[in-house]
Amino acid sequence: MAPRITGRRENDSGGNTHYRIGPSKVVARAEAVRMVEDDKLPGYHTVRVNGVKYLRDNPDKRESDNIDNQPLI
């Protein structure tokens, strides 16, 4: 089964700085972006906001798997 993002950490502005992948692996945003761009984290894509790349869940009919709906860690 492909790894999934199961949590996130935010900065004071609300931007995601870290992501939890699976049950326990926590990676910085830049590493998660590289994983997506290297096809090591399927089901996600990157977007650029104010010059910074962030992850987004690929569109589907479920809101429960959206990154912003994952618990804060």
- pLDDT tens digits for range 26-45: 999 999 999 999 999 999 99
Q: What is the pLDDT of residue 59?
A: 86
pTM for this prediction: 0.88
| Look-up of token digits 């618990």 | 71
State pLDDT tens for residues 47-65: 999 999 999 999 888 888 7
The ranges assigned to domains in the chain are 5-61
User: For the CA atoms of the chain, what is the radius of gyration?
Assistant: 11
